[in-house]
Amino acid sequence: MNTSHSLYHVALQTREHEPTSYENLLGDSIERAFAQGFHDLESLTQYLNSAGPSCADGQAWTPASFQLEMAKLGR
């Protein structure tokens, strides 16, 4: 009997709604940043500021604003 499916869940399976356009754009941009080797918070936020999207409030990304946004989106 294969029980591996019960060992984990995919986070999107527990969401109450589909990702918004903003969430999809942000996720895609973060994936591109990681693929280019930007793994620390400072270089990641610099990448987001050059490639977009901007922070949800329209401001430039900072390490602090990125952490706050990830906490908000992770709820």
Kindly state whether residue 49 falls inside one of the protein's structural domains: yes
Kindly state whether residue 7 falls inside one of the protein's structural domains: no
pLDDT at 11: 59
**Residues 6 or more apart whose Cβ sits within 8 Å of residue 21:** none
User: How many domains is the chain built from?
Assistant: 1
Amino acid, single-letter form, for residue 45: T
Q: What is the mean pLDDT of residues 22-45?
A: 97
Kindly state whether residue 67 falls inside one of the protein's structural domains: yes
pLDDT at 62: 97
Kindly state whether residue 11 falls inside one of the protein's structural domains: no
Q: Which domain holds residue 75?
A: 40-75
